Structure formats: C-alpha cells, structure tokens
Structure 1
Amino acid sequence: MKSHTKKELNKMKTELEKHQEDIASLKRDVRELVKHRERVGGNFSQIEQRLDTTERQLRQKKAKLENLETETETALNDTQRLLSLYKNELSHLNTTASELEDKVEAQFTATKTELEARLKKIQKTSETLSTKLNEQKAEVDEFKGKADGKFRNVDERLNATLKQQKSDTNTLKSDIAGIAHRLKSAEEKVAVQQALKPEVDRLRAEVNAKVAFSASIIESKGVFTGPKTAGTSNILIFNRVFTNVGNAYNSKTGVFTAPLKGVYQFSFMTFGYNSHTSGALLVKNGHYQVFTWEFKGPDASDTTSNTVILKLNVGDCINIILWEGGKIHASVFSGFLVFPTS
C-alpha cells in the first residue's frame, strides 16, 4: 500500500512539473504573441482570457495536488505506525508461540518418558502375574483332582443322609399332625376358658367379697339419741365403730351403702328408760322396713331388738331412725353380706 501511494505521488509530481513546464511554455508563447501583436497590431484579448483561465485551473490543480500530497503523507505516517504496531504484536506472538512450543515439547517429552516407564512397569507386573497365574493354575488342577474324590464321598454320604432325613421328615410330619390336633384341642379349651374368664372373675370377686360392720351409740352431747320431734329428721349416728370390713358404713352420716349386689343381714338393738317411748326403725332408701317399739311403762328401762335380711343393689342405703317422741340411751347397729347375687 505504501509503495502504491508513493507511485501515485511521484506520478502527480511529474504531471505537476509537466504542467508547470507547459505554463512556462505558454507564457513564453504569450510573450511572443504579445510581441507579435505589437508588431502586427492584432487583437489577442480572447487568447489572454483563455490563458488566464488555463493558468487559474492549473493553480487549482496544484493546490489540490498539494492537499493530496499532505493527506497522502499523513496516511503514510499512520500506516507506518500501524505497521510498527503490527510488527511488535507479531514479534510478541512469535515469541509466545516459541515459548509454548518449547513448553509443549518439554511436557510431551516428560509424558513420553513417564508413559514408557509405566509401560515397562506394567509389562514387568504382567510377567509376574502370568507366572503366579500359571502356578495357581497348577495348584487348582491339583486341588480339583483331590476335590473330585472327596466330592464323590460327600455325594454318597449326602445321599444316605438325604434318605435318613426323608424318613425323619415323614416321622416328623406324623408327629406334627398329632401336635396340631392336640394344639387345636388346647386352643378350643383356651377359647372356652377365655369366654368363661369374665364370669370366673366375677364369681371370684363375689367369693372374695367381704362386707361386715358393727357400731354402737351412747347418749352424749355429740350425738342425737332423742327425743325426736315432728320437726327433727336426724338419723341415729352410730359413731363408735367396732368393725367396718369393706368400708361400706359411714360413721359420720350413720348410713350403710351397699358396695355389691347381694343378700344382706342387718340387726339393731336399742336401750331406753321408761320416761320416753324407746325403739327404732330400719330404713332402706328412705322407706321403712322393720322396727322395734316399747311404750312407757312401770319398768325402769326397756331393751328392744330386731333382725332382717334384705336384697340390695349396688348403692342402696340403710340407716336407723327414732320413733317420733322416742328417746334411747344406747344402741347397736350391725350388718354383713350373706352372699352376692348376679
């Protein structure tokens, strides 16, 4: 590109010089014509105008040529700078490529050396393994010969053992059938026992159930022993407890509460003086059941008693109350479970 530009520039310089020579030649011709006009007295105004026009055009071309020469010189300078940069970059790339080639060559040489060493090691290992494999193959062949004889003996013994096991298995099957029959009978018995267990538990609880109490009362400021009026409803509270098996009697309220359904026996005794009617009533859930009664008389004191057997449900209540107008000095109240009922 640089050489081509130089050629163009030289060509334009040559043309410029040629034009300058033409101009000089024309000027000489003009002077000659002027002289000739003066001699001949002719009119050369038109020729002068043409010469002036031609000179002006040549000047314009010269100015353009100078501008073109300047621009060409600037382009040449830029081109030279770019070529310099390209040369430097190319030199750097060549250096880098050379270094990379050296590194690759060195790495390739090292890898080749290492692979050759590994290959030799593998070949040596392969030869060793091949030797050991041959030795082991001979040992296996020897062992196989010995094992064949042993296996034949083992097969004979296994066949004999298998026959014995078949016989034992048949015997065992027969025994298992008998055991299964007995197990089924046992399971049926267990099922019956399980069905009867609730009833047995209930009966055992009833058999083991123990309910019995006995308590007394003596006239004192702390308890009610009469006389009973129409406005009083206090029951007799037997506060001195002798026995209370099952804790069914409450010594603070004087009420016995049945803990089990069953048949119970109750008895009570009263002692009083002849100043008041004596005696008492046994009450079940608020209803009169049995009673004792002794009116005022010539005797200094009177004793009454009574016994009753009642069928109670769980929660039924039994207590003792006085007759209206009656009064006692001492009394005993007892009861117990005869037997539970379903």
Structure 2
Amino acid sequence: MLRVCFSIQFLMIFGVQGLLHPGGTGPTIEERFEALEKELRENITTIQQQVFASETLALRQILTLESTFRKELEHEMEELKANFSAQEMLLIQERQLRLDLEREMNKTLENISKVLQISNSRIDNVVAEQEAMGKLLRASMKNESTLGAAIQQHVNQISVALSDTQNQLKTLRASIQSASTSSGTGGSPVVAFTAYANSGRDYSTEKIVFNSVITNYGAAYNSRTGIFTSPTDGVYAFTWTHLTQYGHYCHSYLTKDGARQNLDAHSNLQGIHSTVYTMATMTGTLHLSKGDQVWIQSQHCEGFLGSPYNSFSGWKL
C-alpha cells in the first residue's frame, strides 16, 4: 500500500513537472506513464499475493482448530457413551438377577404347593385306611387269623404311605434350601441384599448403618453393624441412596476394609431455606476377596432422612 501511494505521489510530482518542462532530455510523458503504470500493477499484484497468503494461512489455522475441536468432542462423546453403557449394563444385570430370583421363588412355591397337596392327599388316604381298618377289625373279630393278616397288610400300607410322605418332605426341604442358596441358571451361590435406615439422624465421620433388611440372600450383610462381608471371591456391585433435607448437606462414600474407594454420593442444599429436598445416589463395582468388608462411610451428613428415603444394596455379578 505504501508503494502504491509513493507511485501516485511520484506521478503527481514528477509527472506534472515533466508536463511543465516538455523540453527536457529524459523520457517522454508516455514512457513515464507506462513505467508508472507498470510499477503500480506490480505493486497491486504483490499486495494481492500477500493478502491471499495471509488469508490462506488464517484459513488453514481455522481448519486446524476446527479439526482439533472435532476430535476432542468425539473423544468426549465416546467417553460419555462408554460410561452410559456401563451404567446401563449394571441396571440390566440387576433386573435380570431379580427376574431370575422371582422365577426361582415362583417355581419353589409351586413345588411346595404340589408337595403339600400330595401330603394332604396321602394323609386323607391314611385316615381312610385307618377307618377301613377299624371297620375290618369290628367285622373280623370272629376270625383272628384273617384279622391278623388284614391288620398286617394295612400296617404295611401305612408304612409305605408314611415312607413316601417322608421322602416328599425331604424333597421339599431340599427345594427350599436350594431356592435360598442357589440361582436359577448356573447353580452358583446367590449373594444379594437390600437394606435401609428406618430413622433419620445427623452423622459425623462414622459408618452409616442401614439397620432394616429387605432381602439378604447369602446372609452376607450384617444389619447391626452395616457391614457387608464377602463370602467368596468375585466382582460385586453396590449402590446406595440418601435424601437430604433443605438447608443441609450429606457426603458419603464407599469403603472397603477401611479404605476409601473414590465412589462418593454428595447432596448439598446448605444455605437454601425452602421445601426443596435433594437425593444423591452412587453405583459402582468392586473386586472382593473372601472376607473383605464393605460399608458406607459418612464424611459429614446433616438432615439424613430415614425410611423410605434411603437404601443400600449389593449383589455378586
């Protein structure tokens, strides 16, 4: 731009002087105009090239930034999808476990009903046989040998009926025990529990005890201490929830053998005075060895509400 202005000024000063002094020995007016016009065009071309180069560089930088931003966004989306898939898988496994347990319990109840029906039927048959035996005894008082044979036959029949009834009861006990200790698919021990705290209170840095048990398959959860003790090696899932009253906050976390596991639930309404309540929940998985202990530890909880606004559950995957 400076070169263009310089050329125009040169044309205005020296070109006009040439017009005023045509008798000089230098180039003619036409030659001067051609030289100035050529120089002006070269300057314009140079400026256009510089502008084009600057625009090209800026465009490349914009495209590079756009590509980097797109890659970062795609990476974040993949992480979000992976986290969502993991949570969804845990929920699906929990629902499947519940369905399996319900099917097994329904099957066990059906078996119990059938065994009871059979037992009642056999008891009715025994009563009927005893009544028939009494009639036979009264009708056969005159024939002791016939009476003895009939009595022995009825005794044998009663013994067979009682033996069958005992076998049915053994089968019933085994079915009930199997339903309480085994799953419906692989036969591996079922370990699952759900408990809640039936009353609310404030907690300092201490263990939160969920003292009311809803389910406790495998009897691995202690409602007096709030501690779950792993009965076997494996991967376990845990989830807990608590509701906080307005104007307070509650911060809890999962603990394994006294070590914090970086799984925290935090609800905070401190400084808010209204009818607002907030619920915090956390779900995670841990690999436990036999005898490992897990519980929920309070970092500081105020306004912790009791049943039905809290729960602590765990199960073996």
Higher helix share: 1
Higher strand share: 2
Higher Rg of the two aligned structures: 1
TM-score of the pair, normalised by structure 1: 0.35
TM-score of the pair, normalised by structure 2: 0.37
